[in-house]
Structure 1
Amino acid sequence: MKKLKTILFLLINASLFAQNPITPPGMYIADPEAHVWEDGKLYIYGSRDESDDYWCSYSHNVLSSENLIDWDITEKAFSSKGEFDQVPHHDNLLFAPDAAYKNGTYYLYYCSPGKPKTEGVATSTNPNGPFINGKQIKGVYSIDPAVLIDDNGQAYYYWGQGKPTVAKLKSNMMEIDEATITHPLDKEGNVAFHEGSSIRKIGDLYYFVFADDSRDNRPTCLGYAIGKSPMGPFEYKGVIIDNFNCDPSSWNNHGSIEKFKDQWYVFYHRSTNNSQKFRKACIEPIFINKDGTIDEVEMTSQGAGKPLKASKIIEAEWTCGLSGNVRITKIPSTDIISEGLSEIKNNDTAIYKYLSFEENTKSFEVKTSTASEGIIEIRIDDKQGQIIGTCDIQANSNKVSYKISSCKIKTVKGKHALHFTFKTKENQHLIIDWFRFK
């Protein structure tokens, strides 16, 4: 199978700056399982969203990076249907995967809906794939696999929706020992657990991460539990991150934790397009406390890097919080795929965390593509914070053209959260591509 590979270069020309989400415009990768393999790179295996009519797609892409800033994208590393089909026993969609490495072989564990749901495993000699010869794992009829290989070489397989399950994997990494099947979470954890098992070992403790629906009656959180054995019991400890408010229709979360170059991170996804689908992978640093717990972290725009330079172009889709009707969508463009904020109506808001302002910052400019007019109130630190500027947006005569609007701002320096409040007339909405401070 021929691999399609794209190198994603960020717009920020500094080695210490990154951004969320990490996927380029028009590409939607959810359920990110992150692993650092023998070559020192970090690899992300996840679902690929392609339609609002169904979850996920029929293929998996693989993201990889040497620095969490520049990303390689290997497309169609594994497929269940079509030209590169490697699943002979069905042509169903591919939901969230995981991966493992043992004795020179990379194992991709996949799952699919259907009657019954099925899970399987494919192999490769390369972490980017292609993963071939998909084989069904007997005795497992659910979704969302996760795999841990312990220090003694014993592997464990986790899966489940509604209630998690674990069993030992046999030495071939392709079969479970059905005699070892157990349910590893404590009572509180089982109440919070929705789906999306993920497993890591930190020191002598085992961390079980999962989609957590203990808030708002939907699994927008990543929760975690800790145990002293890979088979549990795992004691529920709380929430690592909540993606609520990333999109008007945000429904679920799914991800993992992984250590990269002496720093632990949480990998999760956010929704876009006012949809439960079209999800994008994101990253935040986390910290393991002395007692083994993990403090909850907030969603940010800067992700794995330092605060974004306010003087550089900030893409509007890097927002880490929305309220009202506004959402991230593709926007009109004559050359490349572009995303931004659209359907912006009166009193909608958008948040960016965090920006670094230089001492001589005096003005704000924004690129819009709309036949509507409106106002952007620019606040710092919180939604009721100081207004440092108000930018008037004039209507364009051509809906596919763009306009650069600007305004003076009060002097700002240092690190700040940025809050936009939008003012529009009835039946009008704004579309924003990017902004910056000068």
Structure 2
Amino acid sequence: MNPYLPRWEYIPDGEPRVFGDRIYVYGSHDKAGSDNFCDFVLKCWSAPLTDLTKWVCHGDIFHTKADRDHPSDIDWNGDNTLLFAPDVVQGIDGKYYLYAYIVNARGCVAVSDRPEGPFRLLSKYKYTIPEEVCCNGWFIDPGVLVDDDGRTYIYCGFERSFLAEVNSENMYEIIDGSCIEHFIPCTETEEGGFAEEESLFYEACSPRKINGTYYMIYSPKRGSRLAYATSDSPTGPFTYRGYIVDNGVDYPGGNNHGSVVCINGQWYIFYHRMTNGTIMSRRGCVEKIEILPDGTIPPVEMTSLGFEDSLDPYEITPADIACVLKGKAFITEKNAFDRAVINIRDGDVIGYKYFDFGEDYSSRTMEFAAKTKGMGCDCKMHIFADDEEIGVCRIGQDGGIVKTAVKAVTGRRAVYFKISTDYSGWTGEYFKDRSLFELIEFVFMK
């Protein structure tokens, strides 16, 4: 399900990489309820290609500040050494190289003999190009490509894009004369045929080579999306082709960063979405995608599925895997054990895609139960399977476990909860914008 990692883990900006017989994810590290993007540490998770539900945490793989268990992995420090959006590639020597952006500082390259690290500092980037190139020489949010001929390219940028070739013999030296600015335009006045705001570059470069074509996954100025452009060359020119996923469709949107990977013949897009009523606490999600023969990638919707084909409605569903939140409701983590959809108001919609209710069912009804926390108000939770209302559950002032009979349905369905109150007239104004209850989990029962 989504998120695909344990629900307490916050790994945004996910870069998925297949090394050997495992899929690895490298990303930033957020904290629940933090007022900052990212952390001073990078972590790595992986799963066997044969079982994408068995994710293993390999722990901290790189640090820019000492903590209770590790010294800093860099030999320069400051008040703000937050680590943003890493990438890892395998070099021509078989070693694994980690590229990271350290806030407001020249980034660095680290190396390991294993894809899961830990990584040791190799060098800062070395170059003779002017400091103003590549965002003051910081190489923000780097994405790296080792091409089939062994040449290495780094792509980066914030509000303007850059690429450059890296010396494949040492993996940190930028080759003189190789830097190209605006390989994806950031304004409508620049050349390149990118006229729409949805195509203009903002941040989050992630390169891939697929069937001989070079793909650039990136976050456009319409920042809740992941867009993509293609080229016949690693240095462009790139042509905008569309967007893959939008984490702001019927959901509290925010920045997006991720990439695509093929696992066992199936393509996926890794991305993140927001929790805790902020744009800082981001959890990694994944959706199945298709790459058509002409190289295009049809947009996909956000779901609660992750790697699953469907969810089981007859197993308890945690409320915080909602993929639709319309209104003022949002997901929050109260502690390591408790997460809920909170701030639920009159008119809000909470949705989950998709459940498989199975084949024909001999009875005309089944039961629905939800665990809630009351907020001193009475309200109704209308239960929908796709566009069909199948029941209504009343939630009292003290909440608790609520139950109701609902119409039995079959097949693959999205489930939505639409919230309403009976308050009306001048007294209803007191409850118009009031939190009604919190949703913790729910289940259908035959």
Write out aligned runs for 1:20-419 (5 A): 20-38=2-20, 40-50=21-31, 52-66=34-48, 67-83=51-67, 84=70, 85-91=72-78, 92-102=81-91, 103-114=93-104, 117-133=105-121, 135-139=123-127, 140-170=137-167, 171-183=169-181, 184-185=183-184, 186-188=192-194, 192-214=200-222, 219-245=223-249, 247-248=251-252, 250-331=253-334, 337-358=337-358, 359-360=360-361, 362-372=366-376, 373-381=378-386, 385-396=387-398, 403-419=400-416
Which has the higher mean CA deviation after the structures are superposed, 46-55 or 314-323? 46-55
Taking only the aligned residue pairs, the percentage that are identical comes to: 35
The one-letter code sitting in structure 2 at the alignment partner of 1:276 is I
Q: Which stretches in structure 1 are left out of the alignment for 5+ residues? A: 1-18, 397-401
The one-letter code sitting in structure 2 at the alignment partner of 1:174 is Y
**Aligned length in residues:** 401
- The higher radius of gyration belongs to 2
In structure 2, how many angstroms separate the alpha carbons of the residues matched to 1:63 and 1:420? 33
The one-letter code sitting in structure 2 at the alignment partner of 1:110 is A
Which has the higher mean CA deviation after the structures are superposed, 251-260 or 120-129? 120-129
In structure 2, how many angstroms separate the alpha carbons of the residues matched to 1:348 and 1:142? 41
Task: Determine if contact 2:254/2:273 at 8 Å carries over to the other structure.
Answer: no
In structure 2, how many angstroms separate the alpha carbons of the residues matched to 1:245 and 1:331? 25
Q: Which residue of 1 aligns with 2:132?
A: none
The one-letter code sitting in structure 2 at the alignment partner of 1:73 is C
Q: TM-score w.r.t. structure 2 length?
A: 0.86
Deviations 1:110-166 (A, max 9, x none): 00222xx42111111122211112521134324110111111111111111112111
In structure 2, how many angstroms separate the alpha carbons of the residues matched to 1:331 and 1:436? 22
The one-letter code sitting in structure 2 at the alignment partner of 1:118 is R
Which has the higher mean CA deviation after the structures are superposed, 237-246 or 359-368? 359-368
420 and 134 in structure 1: CA distance in 2 versus 1, 3 angstrom threshold: farther
What is the DSSP-based 3-state SS (H/G/I as helix, E as strand, rest coil) of the residue aligned with 1:317? helix
Task: Determine if contact 2:126/2:172 at 8 Å carries over to the other structure.
Answer: no
Which has the higher mean CA deviation after the structures are superposed, 385-394 or 419-428? 419-428
Task: Determine if contact 1:370/1:395 at 8 Å carries over to the other structure.
Answer: yes
What is the DSSP-based 3-state SS (H/G/I as helix, E as strand, rest coil) of the residue aligned with 2:83? coil
Measure how far apart 1:387 and its partner are.
0.7
Measure how far apart 1:81 and its partner are.
0.3
In structure 2, how many angstroms separate the alpha carbons of the residues matched to 1:224 and 1:28? 24
In structure 2, how many angstroms separate the alpha carbons of the residues matched to 1:275 and 1:294? 30
In structure 2, how many angstroms separate the alpha carbons of the residues matched to 1:369 and 1:73? 32
Measure how far apart 1:291 and its partner are.
0.7
Measure how far apart 1:53 and its partner are.
2.0
The one-letter code sitting in structure 1 at the alignment partner of 2:230 is I
Q: TM-score w.r.t. structure 1 length?
A: 0.87
List structure 1 runs of 4+ shifted beyond 6 angstroms.
none
Task: Determine if contact 2:28/2:84 at 8 Å carries over to the other structure.
Answer: yes
Task: Determine if contact 1:246/1:271 at 8 Å carries over to the other structure.
Answer: no
Task: Determine if contact 1:108/1:121 at 8 Å carries over to the other structure.
Answer: yes
Q: Which residue of 1 aligns with 2:131?
A: none
The one-letter code sitting in structure 2 at the alignment partner of 1:161 is F
Measure how far apart 1:316 and its partner are.
0.7
Task: Determine if contact 2:108/2:121 at 8 Å carries over to the other structure.
Answer: no
Measure how far apart 1:43 and its partner are.
0.5
Which has the higher mean CA deviation after the structures are superposed, 127-136 or 157-166? 127-136
What is the DSSP-based 3-state SS (H/G/I as helix, E as strand, rest coil) of the residue aligned with 1:229? coil
Task: Determine if contact 2:267/2:288 at 8 Å carries over to the other structure.
Answer: yes
The one-letter code sitting in structure 1 at the alignment partner of 2:194 is E
Measure how far apart 1:187 and its partner are.
4.2
Q: Which residue of 2 aligns with 1:15?
A: none
Give RMSD over aligned pairs.
1.8
In structure 2, how many angstroms separate the alpha carbons of the residues matched to 1:145 and 1:187? 24
The one-letter code sitting in structure 2 at the alignment partner of 1:128 is E
Task: Determine if contact 2:251/2:323 at 8 Å carries over to the other structure.
Answer: no
Measure how far apart 1:331 and its partner are.
4.0
In structure 2, how many angstroms separate the alpha carbons of the residues matched to 1:100 and 1:226? 20
Q: Which residue of 1 aligns with 2:189?
A: none
